Amino acid sequence: MLLAIKEDGGPKGKQVVTQVQALIARGALKPGEALPSTRLLAEQLGLHRSTVAAAYQDLWAQGCLDLRPGAQPRVRPRGGLIPAPPAGAPGFPWEARLADLGRLPRRPVRPEGAISFADFTMDPRLMPVAAFERSLRSVLRRRGPEVLAYGDPQGQPGFRALLAARMAQHGVAAAPEEILVTHGSQQALELVLRGVARPGDAVLVETPTYNQFLRLLGLLGLRALAVPEGPGGPDFAALEALVRRERPALAYVMPSFRNPTGRSLDPAQRERLLALCGAAGLPILEDGFTEEMKYFGRAIQPLKALDRSGLVIYAGTFSKILFPGLRLGWIAAPEPCVAGLTALRAAGELGPPPLLQEGLEDFIRLGRFDQHLARLHRCFRRRMDAALAALRRHLDPAWAAWEAPAGGYLLWLRLTGFDPALDLEAALARHGVAVRDGRSFFPCPAEGPRWVRLSISTLDEAEIARGIERLAVGLRALRGT
């Protein structure tokens, strides 16, 4: 075996490894062929014997050599490298299963300078980053090893106690044992569906509703049952008939500032819904994703506040009122429900990072969150007023209609006289304004009017006014084309 070790060729053991690999690769060393012992090779090359021994160990670990105590080192017959399949070969069946899961759409590229009513996230200009950093640092200094270790699979106890206390401010009586901390409310929705429903079951949804919830239903093999909605709210007679006929496993409801319409149920509608579901023993998944964003008038109590029977499972989140990237939300539900969902979640993953839970707890206990929330309310009262004024000013009520929401970030436009085949998002983007086409929020593609969802979450008053003016110009140009 001919090896040439160079003084300036890098670590010598490494040179041995590379050169033996090369000899094997080009067939100069054949499978089964013996190599010199470590002693002999070390003498030949003028190396320490331990250097050669380490190089042989490396070659063994890479599967190149057979090393057995007392036997000569030999080149291993390579059996295991699985080659790439020939081009055009049929795939494995499990590849088709993965392909069925679909792909996330690429984020749309927005034209430079476009004003976006499409983004539904926290305005970076309103994020209290420095104050949160202080809370994180404080927790790391006080409890570093604890918050970087495995946490309580149900959520950190102190953070759960705090969430329970905040729920009490909304009239909801929940003990810390009745709280499960989740990765945002999105995980809460998935866990409840997986825990309560079985593939093939039907789930009641408002019309229109959160599009990602519809996607989730599809992935879990569940059917969406759309509750028809009139101008004043859900059609309760139709809802009752659906419940009787289809025996759904769950009702999914966003009572406040619903995504995408911004609408809320009034107290009478909430009670009627509860009475109806209570009589049928139908559990309700209440999505309170922007519960805290009531900035016009008084906050209406959540459904969960009116329930003593354990029928309502409440899902909350900090994503729409603080930092989406913390991925922190929660479920409030009867203890047996929370225990089952905790077990389900723990089998899949062990829960949100304790550091972020305790950091947020510190931030809230120091009053920093309530300060931030008060600022958000002041800010969005002005922004929503600006949006409503701009809509009144620029849009023609003959073909564009909307309702004034009592809070939240969303406006929902109903547009008549537009080509059903028109790609509204792309066409409006050419007018410098990004919106969400309302269609994806309907369980079944809706006929008739076109719908547009406007989120004002990341825009200030001036941007809103300019954006709605552009929207109006765009819509006028597109109408009847």
Residues numbered 194-213 forming contacts with a second copy, rule: CB under 8 A: 195-198, 212
Least distance from a second copy to the Cβ atom of residue 346, Å: 6
Least distance from a second copy to the Cβ atom of residue 115, Å: 18
Query: Which DSSP helix (H) or strand (E) runs through 450?
Result: strand 450-455
Residues numbered 449-478 forming contacts with a second copy, rule: CB under 8 A: none
**Dihedral angle at the C-alpha atoms of 470, 413, 405, 108, nearest 10 degrees?**
-60
- Closest to a second copy by CB, 203 vs 472, is 203
Least distance from a second copy to the Cβ atom of residue 162, Å: 19
Pair 52, 42: CB distance under 8 Å: yes
- Closest to a second copy by CB, 358 vs 478, is 358
Residues numbered 407-446 forming contacts with a second copy, rule: CB under 8 A: none
**How many residues make contact with a second copy (CB under 8 A)?**
116
Residues numbered 71-110 forming contacts with a second copy, rule: CB under 8 A: 76, 78-85, 92-95, 97-104
Residues numbered 337-376 forming contacts with a second copy, rule: CB under 8 A: 337, 339-344, 346-356
- Rounded Cα distance between 241 and 344, Å, is 33
- The reply to whether 2 sits near a second copy by the rule CB under 8 A is no
- The reply to whether 259 sits near a second copy by the rule CB under 8 A is no
- The reply to whether 39 sits near a second copy by the rule CB under 8 A is no
- Closest to a second copy by CB, 46 vs 90, is 90
- The reply to whether 398 sits near a second copy by the rule CB under 8 A is no
- The reply to whether 22 sits near a second copy by the rule CB under 8 A is no
Residues numbered 145-164 forming contacts with a second copy, rule: CB under 8 A: 145-151, 153-154
- Rounded Cα distance between 452 and 346, Å, is 39
- Closest to a second copy by CB, 299 vs 446, is 299
Q: Which of 115, 174, 251, 326 binds a second copy (CB under 8 A)?
A: 326
Residues numbered 275-314 forming contacts with a second copy, rule: CB under 8 A: 275, 278, 281, 283, 297-301, 306-311
- The reply to whether 244 sits near a second copy by the rule CB under 8 A is no
Least distance from a second copy to the Cβ atom of residue 26, Å: 19
- Closest to a second copy by CB, 6 vs 103, is 103
Which of 454, 447, 443 lies closest to 209 in space, CA to CA? Answer: 443
CB atoms within 10 A of CB 377: 16
DSSP string, 247-259: --SEEEE--SS-T
Q: Which of 12, 166, 183, 383 binds a second copy (CB under 8 A)?
A: 183
Which of 435, 378, 436, 440 lies closest to 407 in space, CA to CA? Answer: 378
Q: Which residues of 231-244 are buried (b: 16+ CB within 10 A; e: fewer)?
A: eebbeeeebeebbe
Close Cβ partners of 269 (under 8 Å, ≥ 6 residues apart): 233, 234
Q: Which residues of 139-166 are buried (b: 16+ CB within 10 A; e: fewer)?
A: beeeeeeebeeebbebbbeebbebbbeb
- Closest to a second copy by CB, 221 vs 420, is 221
**Residue 18: left if φ>0, alpha if ψ -120 to 50, beta else—which one?**
alpha
Q: Which region, judged by CB under 8 A, interacts with a second copy, from 140-148, 411-419, 420-428, 429-437?
A: 140-148
- Rounded Cα distance between 126 and 372, Å, is 8
- Rounded Cα distance between 138 and 119, Å, is 32
Least distance from a second copy to the Cβ atom of residue 191, Å: 8
